[in-house]
């Protein structure tokens, strides 16, 4: 019998220790290794090394941040997250306040809800479990947390590493989307910006749904782009099916009007392209479908609902801003469509520029000052990138321009709380970063490279 190689013994020992100490953390490392192997096997040869390095750096930065925040919570709370015993009546038997000290109670709340879902599936139907699974926050990522806890037990530290993997994975569809719309160098810049943008990194070190939401949104945009470029009916049917499946998953994770507006933008962009190619029958059918589902009454109702949310935020706690005339606060007089239309530029200005540096007296805003300085630098570049893209590659990026415009207006009208705004604005941050990379290229190189067909 041949002796077992020492390297294999060492790997087995490390796997055994990892499985005993943190089976959930070991599972996430398996996901990272599988992603690394897939990139080695399937990514384009010219971009392979870049994508592997950026993915691994992005993951380990997020993992180190998450573990550091968990250690910080241990110092602040005086104890780590722990399971004290089984669920009994109104007592869940767990303590998880790993993000509460950062004023991110939703992260801990979703962790507890996920634990309760795992307990419910395991047959524990105590009142504490039944109450918590019906609590606020009905969104798909809680199911992911629940699945993780069901398989690996209560592991609030390692479950956040799963979000770190999702956040690192986000750079891949961003890269291929950018490359398809523009070219490889711009794609690399865009992917690097998304990998290192501070708040995008921060959400990936929590139990919040945002990283998965950003990833699925990027996948939807990429699927539309490959559908747009497909040359055979079979491929278009395949990409359309994948698009609908992804849309079904993402529509359970947030405000559905955002994702229906995403579909509307894609339909409008594809219809415009068909008109340009003189396929009028296709364009007319698509435009008719878009008008039926997203006509003026639906748009007006969406704008009105956005204003209601804004006024609700103004009446709440925390740092807020106002974009309507003072007589509409508090919510007594419904704002007519004309007033809403005139308020859109003011709302968009707040949406894109808040929190301003004048608010830096608040500790939370002070931490955001470096990012906001970077943000003020990137916004003009993004505008240049939009103009350059529409001039040199209009059919490659007009769907992203439409989506950016629609989501900025919708987000601007429905926000007033600074903390909530930062999380929701990051829905469009990856698109802005993509156009900022294109804008920097346009300033540095002009149309050179834009005229080349995207690989």
Q: How far apart are CA 121 and CA 210, in angstroms?
A: 25
Residue 27 structure tokens: 């599972």
Q: Is the pLDDT of residue 286 over 50?
A: yes
pLDDT at residue number 85: 83
Chain centre to alpha carbon of residue 102: 20
Helices (H), 78-183: 105-121, 127-133, 140-152, 158-169, 171-181
Q: Is 98 helix (H, G, I), strand (E, B) or coil?
A: coil
Q: How many CB atoms sit inside 10 A of residue 18's CB? A: 15
pLDDT at residue number 273: 76
Does residue 301 or residue 168 have the better pLDDT? 168
- CB contact set of 100 (below 8 Å; sequence gap of 6+): 73, 77, 108
pLDDT at residue number 455: 37
Q: How far apart are CA 412 and CA 310, in angstroms?
A: 9
Q: Is the pLDDT of residue 349 over 70?
A: yes
pLDDT at residue number 274: 74
Greatest mean pLDDT among 112-121, 164-173, 343-352, 367-376 lies in 164-173
pLDDT at residue number 250: 86
pLDDT at residue number 39: 96
Q: Is the pLDDT of residue 337 over 80?
A: no
- CB contact set of 199 (below 8 Å; sequence gap of 6+): 368, 371, 422, 423, 426, 429
DSSP sequence for 386-420: HHHHHHH-HHHHHHHHHHHHHHHHHHHHT--BHHH
Residue 19 structure tokens: 């499985």
Residue 141 structure tokens: 């990522």
In this predicted model, what pLDDT tens digit does every residue of 51-83 receive, in sequence order? 999 999 999 999 999 999 999 999 988 888 888
Q: Is the pLDDT of residue 93 over 80?
A: yes
- Per DSSP (E only), the strands in 22-145 are 82-83, 94-95
- CA atoms within 13 Å, Cβ hemisphere of 390: 11
High-pLDDT (> 70) share of the chain, %: 84
Confidence label for 292 from pLDDT (cuts 50, 70 and 90): low
Mean pLDDT of 242-253: 86
- From the list 85, 141, 83, 89, the residue with the least C-alpha distance to 117 is 141
Residue 129 structure tokens: 């479990």
Going from the C-alpha of 158 to that of each of 21, 25, 66, 84, 212, the distances in angstroms are 11, 5, 9, 18, 16
Q: How far apart are CA 196 and CA 88, in angstroms?
A: 43
Q: Is the pLDDT of residue 319 over 50?
A: yes
Q: Is 85 helix (H, G, I), strand (E, B) or coil?
A: coil
Residue reference for tokens 């041949």: 2
Confidence label for 298 from pLDDT (cuts 50, 70 and 90): low
- pTM flag (> 0.85): yes
Q: How far apart are CA 166 and CA 290, in angstroms?
A: 32
Average pLDDT, the chain: 84
Q: Is the pLDDT of residue 352 over 90?
A: yes
Mean pLDDT of 218-242: 91
Q: Cis before residue 226, ω within 30 degrees of 0?
A: no
* Residues 246 and 223: beta-carbon distance below 8 Å: yes
Q: Is the pLDDT of residue 253 over 80?
A: no
pLDDT at residue number 77: 86
In this predicted model, what pLDDT tens digit does every residue of 381-396 receive, in sequence order? 999 999 999 888 888 8
- CB contact set of 426 (below 8 Å; sequence gap of 6+): 199, 200, 203, 210, 214
pLDDT at residue number 65: 96
Q: Is the pLDDT of residue 130 over 80?
A: yes
- From the list 302, 277, 286, 165, the residue with the least C-alpha distance to 224 is 286
Residue 247 structure tokens: 């849309």
In this predicted model, what pLDDT tens digit does every residue of 118-129 receive, in sequence order? 998 888 888 888
Q: Is the pLDDT of residue 4 over 60?
A: no
Chain centre to alpha carbon of residue 130: 29
Q: Is the pLDDT of residue 1 over 60?
A: no
Q: Is the pLDDT of residue 176 over 90?
A: yes
Does residue 277 or residue 241 have the better pLDDT? 241
**Maximum distance among all Cα pairs of the chain, rounded to whole angstroms:** 87
Q: How far apart are CA 364 and CA 205, in angstroms?
A: 17
pLDDT at residue number 302: 66
DSSP 188: H
Q: Is the pLDDT of residue 454 over 50?
A: no
Burial label, 296 (beta-carbon count in 10 A; 0-12, 13-18, 19+): exposed
Residue 362 structure tokens: 């608040």
pLDDT at residue number 407: 92
């Amino acid at each position: 019998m041949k002796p077992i190689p020492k390297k294999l013994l060492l790997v087995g020992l490390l796997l055994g220790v990892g499985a005993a100490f943190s089976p959930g953390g070991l599972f996430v490392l398996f996901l990272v290794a599988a992603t690394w192997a897939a990139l080695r096997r399937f990514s384009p040869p010219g971009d392979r090394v870049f994508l592997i390095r950026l993915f691994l750096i992005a993951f380990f930065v997020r993992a180190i941040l998450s573990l550091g925040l968990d250690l910080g919570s241990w110092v602040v709370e005086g104890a780590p997250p722990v399971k004290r015993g089984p669920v009994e009546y109104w007592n869940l038997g767990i303590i998880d306040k790993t993000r509460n000290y950062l004023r991110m109670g939703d992260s801990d709340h979703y962790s507890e809800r996920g634990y309760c879902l795992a307990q419910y599936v395991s047959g524990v139907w105590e009142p504490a479990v039944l109450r918590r699974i019906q609590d606020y926050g009905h969104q798909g990522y809680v199911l992911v947390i629940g699945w993780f806890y069901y398989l690996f037990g209560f592991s609030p530290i390692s479950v956040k590493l799963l979000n770190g993997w999702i956040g690192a994975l986000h750079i891949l569809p961003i890269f291929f989307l950018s490359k398809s719309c523009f070219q490889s160098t711009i794609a690399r810049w865009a992917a690097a910006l998304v990998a290192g943008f501070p708040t995008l990194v921060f959400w990936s070190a929590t139990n919040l749904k945002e990283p998965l939401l950003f990833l699925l949104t990027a996948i939807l945009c990429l699927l539309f782009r490959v559908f747009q470029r497909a040359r055979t009916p079979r491929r278009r049917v395949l990409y359309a099916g994948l698009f609908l499946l992804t849309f079904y998953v993402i529509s359970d994770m947030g405000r559905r009007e955002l994702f229906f507006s995403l579909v509307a933008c894609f339909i409008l962009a594809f219809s415009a392209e068909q008109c340009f190619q003189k396929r009028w029958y296709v364009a007319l059918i698509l435009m008719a479908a878009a008008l039926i589902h997203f006509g003026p009454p639906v748009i007006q109702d969406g704008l009105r609902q956005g204003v209601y949310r804004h006024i609700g935020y103004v009446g709440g706690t925390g740092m807020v801003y106002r974009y309507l005339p003072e007589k509409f606060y508090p919510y007594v007089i419904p704002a007519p469509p004309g007033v809403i239309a005139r308020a859109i530029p003011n709302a968009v200005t707040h949406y894109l520029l808040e929190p301003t540096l004048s608010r830096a007296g608040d500790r939370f805003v002070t931490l955001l000052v470096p990012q906001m300085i970077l943000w003020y630098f990137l916004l003009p570049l993004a505008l240049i990138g939009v103009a350059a893209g529409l001039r040199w590659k209009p059919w490659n990026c007009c769907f992203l321009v439409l989506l950016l415009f629609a989501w900025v207006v919708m987000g601007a009208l429905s926000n007033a709380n600074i903390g909530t705004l930062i999380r929701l604005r990051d829905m469009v941050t990856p698109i802005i970063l993509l156009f900022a990379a294109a804008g920097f290229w346009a300033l540095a190189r002009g149309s050179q490279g834009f005229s080349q067909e995207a690989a």
